[in-house]
Chains A and B, each alone.
Chain A
Amino acid sequence: MLNPDLATINLTPDDYERYSRHLILPEVGVDGQKKLKAASVLCVGTGGLGSPLALYLAAAGIGRIGLVDFDVVDRSNLQRQIIHGEEWVGKPKVQSAAHRIKSINPYIQVDIHEVPFTSENALEIGKDYDLIIDGTDNFPTRYLVNDACVLLGKPNVYGSIFRFEGQATVFHYEDGPCYRCLYPEPPPPGLVPSCAEGGVLGILPGMIGVIQATEAVKIILGVGTTLKGRLMLYDSLKMQFRELKLRRNPECPVCGDHPTVTKLIDYQEFCGIPQAEAEEKAMAIPEITVKELAAKLDQPGVVLIDVRNPNEFEIGRIPGSVLIPLSEIEDGQGVAKVKELADGKELYVHCKMGGRSAKALQVLAEKGVHGTNVKGGINAWSEEVDSSVPKY
């Protein structure tokens, strides 16, 4: 709990030794370390942000750490998700993270929530923690974490990343603004690429996650000036920090003076991802498996377009494929190229995992060019057809 009765908390001899460098700091001291010991923090997500922040919170002696994640460790996570190791590939992230935390600090409690964080369980899971840290990787879960924090009256320690840049702040702390005060609405699906599509500098979430951990510790200790009301922007290429002012919006639908959101909603729908519509759109585009494609490529009259970025094309390619990036198709100039290549031929389109190629085919279909999507993209090709093409 925050502001616990310090007389009821004892530090053990091991604690005195382990936290010696904290105890020496007048701003922490024995009382501060007791506050950390009495505190509980929920980390939603154990990925790029969740990894470094959970490591530091564990080392700092936060008494109870909750971990929420339903994902398993993928080899492509290891470039940045430093709480996980090679031997955990294919195994649940929460188990991996809990194991690592226990090796750093066996004297703290780790609660494992191996479930997706949803409108159905968010309040139930969140209510048992003093503060919640948003280490998620998508808009629906970010709005869910925010609304759950407001409804539960808990601070939301926020961080997010994109390629070389990050943002961090503390939402809904004391009288400060919430995520919806900053961004009342999410962008439409597909506008902002995910890390899997857009890439991310592996070190970047370390910087932002450590800012989140720092803010969490400051809130628990009650020292310093938090990021409440300030949005920290970080640019790793320029190595530059900037800050912008945030204000609470009295009209905010969740934390405003007259809230209209008084319980958790359907965040997929709020973020414009109606399941049926998305499936229907995807359904309209025919698909082929990589094995079927391999057989097709031996035949004449077939053209395969790769819509990834040139640097991804450099990593590996399916023999015979022609590179026309999605961005070129979206801005129109690529459409003419595809039209010319596909004239009188069977058109197949692929990307890394199948998402961007489906999008390209939707754009092409609107221009009267029809083709088939390669399910699972080049990663499926690597797994099922030719492992000499690297999966990434």
Chain B
Amino acid sequence: MKGIQSTIEKRLITGKPVGIRVIEGTSFMVKVIIPAPLRRYAQEQESLDLEGHTVQEVLANLIGTYGDLKKHLYTEEGKLRNFVNVYVNDEDIRHLQQEKTPITEGATVSIVPSIAGG
């Protein structure tokens, strides 16, 4: 119940949409940074605070909030796309435990897609 309460309170305070999936056990609020090319699918938000105790859960909450992001982050088979890198703090999750990478309190999850302009 605490999770739901804090989420609703947060929404009332900030007016911003936040993840509403309820997660069993300890979960943390983490900051998720949305890169410029994907912001149009996230109501131009630069970052948002979401709950989760793994990368997978945080991203599920992200997609739960902004459904249009799903096809840009995941393949039809549900795999994270190869041109979208996800970092927990400064580490690529490919070198950690992929999407099962645990989240710690205060962590930043960055989505970093490839860009090519020059």
A187 to B81, CA, bound (A): 9
Closest to A233 in B: B112
Chain A hits for B118, CB < 8 A? 45, 47-50, 134-137, 159-161, 195, 205
Taken residue by residue from 232 to 255, chain A's Cβ proximity to chain B (1 for < 8 Å, 0 otherwise) reads as 010000000011111101000000
Residue among B72, B82, B94, B116 facing the most chain A CB atoms (10 A cut-off) = B116
Cβ-defined contact, A244 with B117, below 8 A: no
Cβ-defined contact, A162 with B117, below 8 A: yes
Chain A hits for B113, CB < 8 A? 187, 192
Tell whether B3 is near chain A: CB-to-CB under 8 Å.
no
CB distance from B111 to the nearest CB of A (A): 11
CB distance from A167 to the nearest CB of B (A): 6
Tell whether B28 is near chain A: CB-to-CB under 8 Å.
no
Chain A hits for B90, CB < 8 A? 242-245
A247 to B36, CA, bound (A): 24
A163-B36 contact in complex given A244-B87, A245-B90, C-beta closer than 8 Å: yes
Tell whether B105 is near chain A: CB-to-CB under 8 Å.
no
A231 to B83, CA, bound (A): 15
Tell whether B45 is near chain A: CB-to-CB under 8 Å.
no
A134 to B83, CA, bound (A): 18
Taken residue by residue from 156 to 188, chain A's Cβ proximity to chain B (1 for < 8 Å, 0 otherwise) reads as 000111111101000000000000001111110
Chain A hits for B94, CB < 8 A? 249
Tell whether B54 is near chain A: CB-to-CB under 8 Å.
no
A244-B110 contact in complex given A165-B36, A183-B85, C-beta closer than 8 Å: yes
Cβ-defined contact, A137 with B85, below 8 A: no
Tell whether B35 is near chain A: CB-to-CB under 8 Å.
yes
Q: Which residues in window 65-118 of B have CB below 8 A to A?
A: 68, 72, 81-83, 85, 87, 90-92, 94-95, 110, 112-118
Chain A hits for B85, CB < 8 A? 182-183
Cβ-defined contact, A246 with B92, below 8 A: yes
Cβ-defined contact, B37 with A192, below 8 A: yes
Cβ-defined contact, A162 with B36, below 8 A: yes
Taken residue by residue from 207 to 249, chain A's Cβ proximity to chain B (1 for < 8 Å, 0 otherwise) reads as 0000000000000000000000001010000000011111101
Cβ-defined contact, B92 with A165, below 8 A: no
Cβ-defined contact, A192 with B116, below 8 A: yes
Closest to A167 in B: B115
Chain A hits for B11, CB < 8 A? none
Chain A hits for B36, CB < 8 A? 162-165
Residue in contact with A161 in the complex, picked from B72, B92, B112, B117, CB distance below 8 Å: B117
A138 to B118, CA, bound (A): 8
A219 to B49, CA, bound (A): 40
CB distance from B75 to the nearest CB of A (A): 11
Cβ-defined contact, A244 with B95, below 8 A: no
Closest to B94 in A: A249
A193 to B117, CA, bound (A): 9
Tell whether B10 is near chain A: CB-to-CB under 8 Å.
no
Closest to B68 in A: A331
Residue in contact with A247 in the complex, picked from B37, B82, B83, B92, CB distance below 8 Å: B92
Chain A hits for B114, CB < 8 A? 139, 160, 182-183, 186-187, 192
Chain B hits for A185, CB < 8 A? 81-83
A182 to B84, CA, bound (A): 10
Tell whether A327 is near chain B: CB-to-CB under 8 Å.
yes
Cβ-defined contact, A138 with B116, below 8 A: yes
Residue in contact with A160 in the complex, picked from B87, B110, B116, CB distance below 8 Å: B116
CB distance from B35 to the nearest CB of A (A): 7
Cβ-defined contact, A160 with B115, below 8 A: yes
Chain B hits for A45, CB < 8 A? 118
Cβ-defined contact, A244 with B82, below 8 A: no
Tell whether A84 is near chain B: CB-to-CB under 8 Å.
no
Cβ-defined contact, B110 with A200, below 8 A: no
- 19 A-B contacts, Cβ less than 8 Å apart? A48-B117, A134-B118, A136-B118, A137-B116, A159-B118, A160-B118, A162-B36, A165-B35, A167-B115, A182-B85, A182-B114, A185-B83, A186-B116, A191-B72, A192-B114, A195-B117, A242-B110, A244-B90, A249-B94
Which are the 10 A-B pairs with shortest beta-carbon distances? Answer: A185-B82, A162-B115, A137-B118, A161-B117, A187-B83, A183-B114, A195-B117, A49-B118, A184-B82, A139-B116
Q: Which of B's residues lie within 8 Å of A, judged by CB?
A: 35-37, 40, 68, 72, 81-83, 85, 87, 90-92, 94-95, 110, 112-118
> 12 extra interchain contacts, Cβ-Cβ under 8 A, other than A136-B118, A243-B90?
A48-B117, A134-B118, A164-B36, A183-B85, A184-B82, A186-B116, A187-B83, A187-B114, A191-B37, A192-B113, A193-B37, A195-B117
